[in-house]
């Protein structure tokens, strides 16, 4: 990718234009990180870029000075050095004007993102002190932070995301402006908010992300339910670590580039506790079915953020199921196998592990389940069914709830090892039809 990008820059420079790599890819290279894309900035206008690269597409971006150039097996964004004009919606420029490179650096959000690099001469072009801030691990707005956040509220979250994911501090002036404007984050679309949150939770340091969101009050405005975990005390014997917020934070501290559903489940696993907390006659703290209430809350929160259904379902399943693990050692074989067969089981097990580590520290159930998972062959955890509805219909049972519960009874007996073959299952089925179990209503 780097070599292909270099050839685009070379062709632009040979034609007499200034052309550099720009922004995130320069930052990533100086940090020694892998970039997922390369943006190129040039004095050539979109029309001029297209003359040099007839394959250029995305000319709808032309008014903003951006075209896409497919090159080799890759595709590059080539943008004319520009300045944004106006921002009536608090997010997008009204239009752009083409400017010299230095001015293009000034429109960028943070100094570490405002660097250019000439791959031909191997030189970094730094108009804003970005190299120093990279060396000092600092997120600093380019220019006046209040104004820069006012122009585009997404930058509030980008600052937190870069600080968390890169392990940087936020410079005090930038931090103050961020805190002052936190309440205006809702000018950003929920999709963009979701994208930034996803990248924080599934990044290398989600606990640091949580701290920054919390201390800036962005958390209060985006995820007030998580903010409400502060000060919710729990029984000390299970939770020596402190209130529900601190406990949740400790879970996140153990996640590093985790799968997204696991990260969201860790954040939301105890979200039902504030609403379900009761103190009984003996002064003991109880949370009444908090995982059931929590699962509904997780559903509402993730739907509000327009998360895809698949993620919502996985997180809801983990939240509602995470308390079931504590009884794993006493479970019937059938119940245990159904638990192990769940599609989210490996993430649920990991959630259970970090939940224990973040509280009492007892990992015996985790070890028990991990051993079971290793010992039991997949064919035993989720064996093919021995009978179908047709078998019962052949025995004279009409389709309906009774048939469903008969099938369930056979499945239960199979998972408990009471029947193993189709013949045994059919014999059992005949006996059941003679004396059917109570139907559920
Ligand atoms: P990543 O791709 O890892 O999210 P990035 O810095 O490359 O990081 P992009 O969204 O790809 O982020 O943007 C490319 C560059 O465009 C940034 O480095 C920055 O210079 C500029 N930029 C992006 N978003 C903004 C914004 N909201 N305000 C100002 N400049 C921005
Ligand atoms: Mg990028």
Residue 430 banded pLDDT, cuts 50, 70, 90: confident
Residue 114, ligand 1, Cβ within 6 A: yes
Q: What is the mean pLDDT of the chain?
A: 92
- Cβ neighbors of 230 (< 8 A, separation 6 or more) are 243, 245
- Tally of domains in the chain: 4
d(CA 249, ligand 1 centre) in Å: 28
pLDDT, residue 324, reads: 83
**Residue 211's domain is classified under what CATH number?**
1.10.110.30
Is 245 inside any structural domain? yes
Query: Does 125 share its domain with 15?
Result: yes
Of the chain, the end-to-end C-alpha distance in Å amounts to 62
Range(s) of the domain holding residue 341: 223-381
Residue 214, ligand 1, Cβ within 6 A: no
- Residue from 36, 109, 199 whose mutation best tests the ligand 1 pocket (most atoms within 8 A of CB): 109
- Mean pLDDT lowest for which of 49-63, 110-124, 340-354? 49-63
- Mean pLDDT lowest for which of 56-65, 105-114, 123-132, 258-267? 56-65
Q: With DSSP H G I counted as helix, E B as strand and the rest as coil, what are the percentages for the chain, rounded to 5?
A: 55, 10, 35
- Residue from 31, 90, 108 whose mutation best tests the ligand 1 pocket (most atoms within 8 A of CB): 108
Is 441 inside any structural domain? no
Write the residue with the smallest CA distance to atom 15 of ligand 1.
23
Residue 29, ligand 1, Cβ within 6 A: no
Pairing of strands 169-170, 138-139: parallel
Query: Does 126 share its domain with 151?
Result: no
pLDDT, residue 441, reads: 56
Residue 113, ligand 1, Cβ within 6 A: yes
d(CA 116, ligand 1 centre) in Å: 13
Is 259 inside any structural domain? yes
Atom number, ligand 1, closest to the C-alpha of residue 39:
14
d(CA 24, ligand 2 centre) in Å: 5
Last residue of a domain, one of 196, 218, 240: 218
Query: Does 242 share its domain with 322?
Result: yes
pTM for the whole structure: 0.89
Q: Cα separation of 139 and 183, whole Å?
A: 20
> Using an 8 Å Cβ cutoff, are 386 and 409 in contact?
no
pLDDT, residue 24, reads: 95
Query: Does 403 share its domain with 371?
Result: no
Digit-coded pLDDT (tens) for 53-77: 998 887 666 667 889 998 888 899 9
d(CA 25, ligand 2 centre) in Å: 7
Query: Does 211 share its domain with 228?
Result: no
Query: Does 269 share its domain with 303?
Result: yes
Q: Is ipTM strictly over 0.95?
A: yes
Average pLDDT over residues 295-300: 98
d(CA 56, ligand 2 centre) in Å: 19
Average pLDDT over residues 208-216: 98
Query: Does 266 share its domain with 411?
Result: no
Residue 35, ligand 1, Cβ within 6 A: no
Average pLDDT over residues 287-291: 92
Last residue of a domain, one of 84, 111, 136: 136
- Cβ neighbors of 209 (< 8 A, separation 6 or more) are 160, 161, 164, 165, 200, 201, 203, 252
Write the residue with the smallest CA distance to atom 2 of ligand 1.
24
Residue 439 banded pLDDT, cuts 50, 70, 90: low
Query: Does 309 share its domain with 419?
Result: no
Residue 242 banded pLDDT, cuts 50, 70, 90: confident
Task: Calculate the alpha carbon distances from 263 to 196, 208, 319 in Å.
Answer: 14, 13, 11
Write the residue with the smallest CA distance to atom 6 of ligand 1.
24
Last residue of a domain, one of 136, 154, 182: 136
Write the residue with the smallest CA distance to atom 11 of ligand 1.
24
Tell me whether residue 280 is exposed, middle or buried, using C-beta atoms within 10 angstroms of its C-beta: 0 to 12, 13 to 18, 19 or more: exposed
Residue 228 banded pLDDT, cuts 50, 70, 90: very high
- 40: which 2 tokens? 């190129």
Residue 39, ligand 1, Cβ within 6 A: yes
Query: Does 348 share its domain with 369?
Result: yes
Is 261 inside any structural domain? yes
Query: Does 36 share its domain with 8?
Result: yes
**Residue 109's domain is classified under what CATH number?**
3.30.460.10
Atom number, ligand 1, closest to the C-alpha of residue 152:
27
DSSP 182: G
Say whether pLDDT at 440 is over 80.
no
Query: Does 284 share its domain with 412?
Result: no
Is 366 inside any structural domain? yes
Average pLDDT over residues 159-167: 98
Is 439 inside any structural domain? no
Write the residue with the smallest CA distance to atom 7 of ligand 1.
24
Largest CA distance in the chain: 91
Digit-coded pLDDT (tens) for 22-46: 999 999 999 999 888 999 999 999 9
Average pLDDT over residues 281-292: 91
Q: Cα separation of 269 and 281, whole Å?
A: 27
Query: Does 157 share its domain with 299?
Result: no
pLDDT, residue 36, reads: 87
């Amino acid at each position: 990718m780097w070599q292909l990008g270099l050839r685009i820059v070379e062709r632009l420079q040979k034609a007499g234009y200034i052309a550099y790599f720009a922004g995130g890819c320069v930052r990533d290279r100086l940090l020694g990180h892998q970039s997922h894309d390369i943006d190129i900035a040039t004095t050539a206008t979109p029309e001029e870029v297209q003359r040099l690269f007839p394959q250029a597409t995305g000319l709808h971006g032309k008014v903003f000075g951006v075209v896409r150039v497919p090159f080799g097996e890759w595709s590059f964004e080539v943008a004319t050095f520009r300045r944004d004009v106006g921002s009536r919606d608090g997010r997008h420029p009204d239009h752009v004007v083409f400017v010299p490179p230095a001015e293009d650096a000034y429109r960028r959000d943070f100094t570490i993102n405002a660097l250019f690099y000439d791959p031909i001469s191997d030189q970094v072009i730094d108009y804003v002190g970005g190299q120093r801030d990279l060396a000092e691990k600092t997120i600093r707005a380019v220019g006046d932070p209040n104004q820069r956040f006012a122009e585009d509220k997404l930058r509030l979250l980008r600052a937190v995301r870069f600080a968390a994911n890169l392990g940087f501090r936020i410079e005090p002036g930038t931090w103050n402006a961020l805190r002052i404007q936190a309440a205006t984050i809702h000018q950003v679309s929920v999709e963009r908010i979701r994208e930034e949150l996803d990248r924080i939770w599934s990044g290398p340091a989600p606990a640091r992300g949580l701290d920054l969101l919390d201390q800036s009050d962005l958390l209060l405005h985006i995820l007030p339910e998580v903010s409400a975990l502060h000060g919710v005390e729990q029984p000390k014997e299970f939770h020596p670590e402190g209130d529900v917020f601190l406990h949740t934070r400790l879970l996140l501290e153990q996640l590093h580039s985790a799968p997204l559903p696991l990260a969201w489940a860790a954040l939301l696993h105890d979200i039902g506790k504030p609403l379900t907390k009761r103190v009984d006659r003996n002064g003991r703290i109880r949370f009444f079915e908090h995982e059931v209430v929590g699962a509904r809350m997780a559903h509402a929160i993730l739907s509000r953020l327009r998360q895809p259904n698949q993620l919502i379902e996985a997180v809801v399943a983990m939240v509602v199921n995470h308390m079931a693990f504590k009884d794993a050692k006493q479970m019937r074989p059938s119940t245990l196998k159904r638990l192990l067969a769940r599609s989210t089981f490996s993430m649920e097990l990991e959630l259970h592990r970090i939940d224990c580590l973040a509280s009492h520290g007892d990992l015996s159930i985790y070890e028990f389940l991990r051993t079971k998972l290793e010992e039991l062959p997949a064919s035993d955890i989720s064996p093919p069914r021995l009978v179908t509805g047709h078998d019962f219909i052949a025995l004279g049972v009409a389709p309906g709830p009774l048939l469903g519960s008969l099938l369930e009874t056979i499945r239960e007996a199979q998972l408990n090892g009471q029947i193993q073959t189709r013949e045994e299952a059919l014999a059992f089925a005949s006996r059941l039809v003679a004396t059917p179990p109570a139907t559920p209503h």
